[in-house]
Homo-oligomer: A and B are copies of this chain.
């Protein structure tokens, strides 16, 4: 089994790519958009650009937002972006759309609304629509974050629907993760179920002008008390994102968490852990790409037929498939 073509050791880009890199670093939004499209689609040029840009990344703060559909994550993301802009920070937003056609419409609608809101050229919004990228959505999200980081964004907000493990992983891969809740009935149970509490650094109760907000805050605090030894006591912040209420407190909570990460040394540990996870995901994807070539698929079909007819067994067939690739 061979590995993918090794990158050129100096990560020098050829003429046109080098020009695009310079345009991107000069904050040309079109150059940024093109590179991100390559990155998302798994284009080799995207990987070449990533290699060249990666040394310039590592300066941005990353904040993940997750929570149930309907919790108002987009509005909270929006408010956070505005607050960071008021502090003079440039902002990138990475929004992960689930592939489900049932929710896509609403989310795209939100995106459009948010995009219209920003004539502000220092906010760049990118929707990651599919799971087609090399290494899965989680690795692709990291790549997009690295490009936005190298581009010079100070803060990168990563919004996911939190509907599955993959999306929980994405939100949890930011330096600070905000879990957005609402006072609506049933949310307590959902929060418990998803095991999402373990990754939340800051808890926002959005729509906290609705009845049941006090009960939700109490429930969250009770849940947090079940898991006390994490070196950080996640604050519960009430917000009414549609009114802009509580946004400053939310930013303060994120800042406090970031300072704690820095002073405790956990910022660096987490960065290494994220790198480890992305390397693993990419290595795995590379191996699978090598197995699932046209020739590999043909041999797989042959082996599957042998297994179905009991001429071979699944474990022997798996070993034979690997040995032949």
Contact = CB atoms under 8 A, between A and B. Distances in A.
Interface of A: 1, 3-7, 11, 47, 50-51, 54-55, 57-58, 100, 102, 135, 139, 142-143, 146, 164-165, 192-193, 195, 268, 271-276, 278-280, 282-284, 286-288, 291, 300-301, 303-305, 307-308, 310, 313-323
Contact of A102 (B146, B192, B323): B192
Contact of A3 (B195, B273, B280, B323): B323
Contacts of A318: 135, 278-280, 282-283, 286
A152 to B, nearest CB: 15
A222 to B, nearest CB: 15
What is the interface of chain A mostly: helix, strand, loop, or mixed? helix
Contacts of A11: 313, 316
A102 B273 CA distance: 28
A319 B165 contact: no
A323 B3 CA distance: 6
A41 to B, nearest CB: 15
B315 A7 contact: yes
Contact of A47 (B271, B315, B323): B315
Nearest to A324: B3
Nearest to A163: B193
Contacts of A5: 319
A308 B57 contact: no
A314 B143 contact: yes
Given A142-B314, A278-B314, A279-B300, 19 more contacts: A3-B322, A4-B319, A4-B322, A6-B319, A50-B314, A51-B315, A55-B310, A55-B313, A100-B193, A102-B193, A272-B308, A276-B304, A278-B307, A279-B304, A279-B321, A280-B300, A280-B318, A282-B317, A284-B291
